[in-house]
Structure 1
Amino acid sequence: MIRVLIIDDEPLARLILTEYLTAHVDMTVVGEYSDGFEGAKAIQEHKPDLVFLDIQMPKLTGFEMLEILDEVPHIIFTTAFEEFALKAFEKSAVDYLLKPIPQDRFEQALKKFRQLHATQSATPLIESLKSEIDKETLERIVVKNGTQIKLIPIQQIYYLEAYDDYVKIHCAEGMFLKNKTMASFEKQLDPKQFVRVHRSFIVRVDQLAKIEPMEKESFRGILRNGEKVNISKSGYTRLKQVIGL
């Protein structure tokens, strides 16, 4: 039996998807959820084969939800906004459905899923998806703090610090770990606000209070909260370009 989850904040969309699925006796809907927080928990609990996932949801978007999952099933995105649907399709989703969802289009998406489910793991698709997500400009960062999911607005970040396979996010509420590379953050963060000042540090420029010279053409940045970050020669050059020195 193929296990299906529906994660969509619109009750009508969930109802339509459920009705369409009743014609497929080898599929069972193991849950319906209206937001990404509950949806993420449900995926971890039920381990579905297929998820119908809305892109634009309150609290947590579909893309943000995928970032915090350890294992991701096949995904068919649903959306009312065509520009998001096209972007989702380009991001190697199983398929996308544009609301209101016609039944013939739904059947096409299921046919594509069945072909992939029989021959291919969802992992390559999701890795490709995450790679594409890394090209999007960040407005906030989603992290897991134990069993809790936290959203950190970019405006609250002081600096980022490399930490093995993780990145430490230093912000107003403390420090949080994100399983992501510094290079990914460097691509996604606004270069006018954040500068890679060292291989181990990305700093929000307006948090720098002072820059002190150190040995061998290196520097040290003192932040407004008193914390210190290393600044390399090349990082100092990039920093000067941004602040206009």
Structure 2
Amino acid sequence: MNTEKVRTSIIDASDRHRRNLVNLVENNSNLLLAGCYRNAIQAKKEKVELKSNLIFLDVEMPLITGFDFLESFEERPEVVLLSDKPDYALKAFEYNVTDYLLKPLEKRRFEIAVQKSLNNIKLQVESKAHDHFFVKSNFRKVKINYCDIKWIEALGDYIRLVTKKSNHVVLSSMKAFEKQLPTEQFVRIHKSYIINLNRVEKLNHSIVEVDGKSMPISRNRKTNLMNALGL
């Protein structure tokens, strides 16, 4: 990404919350305001997902909800869902969004969501032409070779990257990490686990073992795993 700013769009039905978000975005040196909409219909007409790297999206909007709008995306940028209640947090997790923020937004939580998005975008860009990538863990950059990864494990707003030599806790979503991994080498077996296929030791109908660790296989991901292993 170098110094290029992240193109950011806002879709929120509330004038007050929309103004607050505009202010937060414009005062963040890493972000560039690409669009601001009061509903999903306006944003849909302009194919906002194709011109944005990051979208702040209101869940509760008239006619087309935030979740309905997500399902219509041709491409999926980083998405931070917004709501004035915590009720949709679990559903948001199922949609693999970058973050879920409660309104009115706190600057601290906004900045955390932005940093997660920046990390995710950077990972995707850096990994495209290399057999390795860099992660920020414990306030330092660490080089990771794809072949050294055993598995990736979800840890709330973070992931644990388990390699041959060590473990690294990284601020990122599973969705973003999955995107930047070579599909011929890695597969997601559960909402909480991505594994290196080359390190699979044992397998049954519900469990896969990687370097001595047993991990569950989701029913809806089992076929994909079996195909990836050529079974």
RCO greater where, 1 or 2, for CA within 8 Å and sep 6 or more?
2
Q: TM-score, normalised by structure 2?
A: 0.50
Bigger CA radius of gyration: 1
Q: TM-score, normalised by structure 1?
A: 0.47
